Amino acid sequence: MACTVVWFRRDLRLSDHAALSQACRRGAVLPVFVLDRDLLFHPETAVARVAFMLESLRALDAELRQRGGRLLIRSGDPAEVLLQLVRASGADGVIAHTDSERLVGRVRDARVSRALAAHRIPLHWVEPAGATGELMPYSHWSRQWHQAMASPALPAPEQLMVPAPSEALPDLPVPSLQELGLRADAKPIPTGGSAAAFQRLEQFCEGSASRSYYWELSYPSAKVTTGLSPYLKFGVITPRQCLQRLAWLLPRSSGAGGRRDPRGRSAVQLASRLRWGCAIHQRFRFLPQLELSALWSPLEGGSGASPAASGLSSDEAAGGLTAEQEELYAAWREGRTGFPIVDAAARCLQAEGGWLELNFRSRAFYASFLSNLCGIDWRFGALHYMRHLIDGDCPIDHYQWAMQAGVTYHGSKAWTRIYHPGQVAVDRCDPQGLFIRRWLPELRGLTNDQLGSPPAMADYPAPVLDYDRSRRLRLEALEQQRLHIGDVQAAMARLPQHLHPFGYERIAGCDVAWADLWANQPPSALQPSAVDLERLDPAGWKALFSWFSGTSRTNNTSRSTGAARKGNSSKASAGRSRSRRAQGSPGQLSLDLGFALDAEIG
């Protein structure tokens, strides 16, 4: 009987798992997860995120055993481990989902592909639902994504045929953090597994959060986030499974009363953020260099970056902070900037990993402060975020950082969002001061109107910078940098010759040997392969630019963006017709997902 090794990675589930379903149709399967040192000791790895992954692996193993199977846990080089398992089990091939989240993973998968091919072992890569390896215009991708999300989610196999434990294929338990050489940092870890993910989804849909999410998602103290982000990050639940449950929140009636239904409006808000995340992953599929650099090379660096300094490698830029910037960076990380909304976010991130209470608006304020007001390269902020976020997802978090820093836009009319971190921020996001007082207990005695600019206090620092001056300097710097973009094809960032993660020299004990071994390889050598900008024809450039044209992805987005700048965004949006992609094409989800691609994600 045929046996297939199913290589689990960021798809720790049994249902809606195309690779597992295909393997089970062929016969016996050997589910395996490989603990790879290159990922475990990546400079952006958060120990708490690894802890959640281990919990999810234990839950996956339990689910497999309920169906007559088991999960083989192995440690080492995936290429060597998979080759050994194929030989020991007599399997006739390996199957896995493609994964384009990180460069380290794409280098790993390229090595695995070469190693197995050298031994004539078939390796079948399966695209996750909605993803594609073909460079196509954004509008084409959006249509096929909608069709994929509307297709029925795949059921979990009822029974599995898995080779029994033996001396060659022994059962090994999921190790602890300590056994992996990692030290826990006291963050509370969510319950792992698909059952916990579906429970959270159901609690959101049936609870009070679904009635207020659409308007309270900017308030961290409201606590209306779903808590699904860690589960989505590790593929414990899929966007398609979430979307198909959310579709049931929409009113069956299409009348005016139905359109105003709060649960339906919340469902559309959340659905738009799920699609945003999928679209950003697709961008990184095309251009993995976005993990290491800004979209436009002349925009790299902080406010002090000169035109001559643009285009530096991540290695060169990572050591470029002045003594003053080092102090600002430390104050920002440790929550002692003198701006309460920023310091509360800093402490929340370090204490809890941000997955539940640090919502998108809080993250945006926190990020904008470092990159725009402190004038520090956004990649320093992304490094810190990723080392603490339990839900840290490289494409989503890195691109959000680049957006907040204003380095994803080009042209004389490019828009830059710089949040005011004082009372304006408090009034908008924490008007009752609940979030600030929770994380800054030393400010509990202040009135709400003092939380944006506290009086001089012995146990709380004075502001580390002047907002108006810092904002002016940042806007001037961006304006000058944007003038040097020129030809956009030439200015678009290339995949560097060396793939070392940004700031790795600052992280003790990290492992970047994989990057040393991958120097000077072309984009096409990665797995999955990336777009080679040097070989792109005019049609390819046109398709690629449809993903990066600034703010507009629908015919009406540019108009609604202009209305938003005038302060009339909600009225303007309410009057817009549904986008073509969101209208009733055959097999499409009945969710109005029309939105600007560069909106925030919760």
Of the candidates 473, 495, 514, which is a domain's last residue?
A: 514
Contacts 24+ apart (CB under 8 A), 591-595: 591/243, 591/246, 591/247, 591/250, 591/267, 591/268, 591/271, 592/268, 593/146, 593/268, 593/271, 593/272, 593/275, 594/554, 595/272, 595/275, 595/276, 595/554
Provide the domain limits for residue 415. Answer: 288-514
Provide the greatest CA pair distance for the chain. 76
- Note whether 137 and 119 are same-domain residues: no
The pLDDT, as a whole number, for residue 413 is: 65
- Note whether 116 and 98 are same-domain residues: yes
d(CA 38, CA 322): 30
Please tell me whether residue 124 adopts helix, strand or coil conformation: strand
pLDDT in tens, 472-512: 999 999 989 998 898 999 999 999 999 999 999 999 999 99
- Note whether 280 and 307 are same-domain residues: no
Q: Do residues 511 and 37 touch, judged by C-beta distance below 8 A?
A: yes
Q: What is the CATH number of the domain that holds 114?
A: 3.40.50.620
- Note whether 217 and 265 are same-domain residues: yes
- Note whether 382 and 451 are same-domain residues: yes
Of the candidates 468, 496, 514, which is a domain's last residue?
A: 514
For residue 183, is it within any domain? no
Instruction: Name the amino acid, one letter, at 581.
Output: R
For residue 522, is it within any domain? no
Least confidently predicted of 297-311, 362-376, 584-598? 584-598
Residue 411's pLDDT band (boundaries 50, 70, 90)?
Answer: confident
pLDDT in tens, 55-87: 999 999 999 999 999 999 999 999 999 999 999
For residue 121, is it within any domain? yes
- Note whether 335 and 215 are same-domain residues: no
For residue 342, is it within any domain? yes
Task: Express as a percent the part of the chain with pLDDT over 90.
Answer: 79
Residue 310 has pLDDT above 60, yes or no: no
Strands laid side by side in the 123-126 sheet: 72-75, 28-35, 3-8, 94-97, 123-126
Of the candidates 85, 110, 126, which is a domain's last residue?
A: 126
The pLDDT, as a whole number, for residue 68 is: 97
The pLDDT, as a whole number, for residue 409 is: 85
Average pLDDT, the chain: 88
For residue 417, is it within any domain? yes
For residue 531, is it within any domain? no
For residue 375, is it within any domain? yes
Tokens of 585: 């094409």
- Note whether 378 and 489 are same-domain residues: yes
* Element spanning 232, H or E: helix 229-233
The pLDDT, as a whole number, for residue 259 is: 57
- Note whether 456 and 491 are same-domain residues: yes
- Note whether 397 and 449 are same-domain residues: yes
d(CA 283, CA 279): 6
Q: What is the CATH number of the domain that holds 424?
A: 1.10.579.10
Q: How many CB atoms lie within 10 A of CB 472?
A: 12
For residue 95, is it within any domain? yes
- Note whether 29 and 99 are same-domain residues: yes
274-284 mean pLDDT: 97
- Which residues touch 84 (CB under 8 Å, ≥6 apart)? none
HSE, side-chain direction, 13 A CA sphere, residue 399: 26
The DSSP bridge partners found for residue 5 are 30, 94
Least confidently predicted of 105-109, 393-397, 415-419? 415-419
Residue 552 has pLDDT above 50, yes or no: no
pLDDT in tens, 511-536: 999 999 898 899 999 999 999 999 99
The domain total for the chain is 3
- Note whether 99 and 146 are same-domain residues: no
Residue 592 has pLDDT above 90, yes or no: no
Residue 121 has pLDDT above 90, yes or no: yes
Least confidently predicted of 9-13, 313-317, 370-374? 313-317
132-149 mean pLDDT: 96
Q: How many CB atoms lie within 10 A of CB 180?
A: 17
347-376 mean pLDDT: 95
- Note whether 550 and 460 are same-domain residues: no
The per-residue b/e assignment along 337-354, b for 16 or more CB within 10 angstroms, e otherwise, is bbbbbbbbbbbbbbbbbb
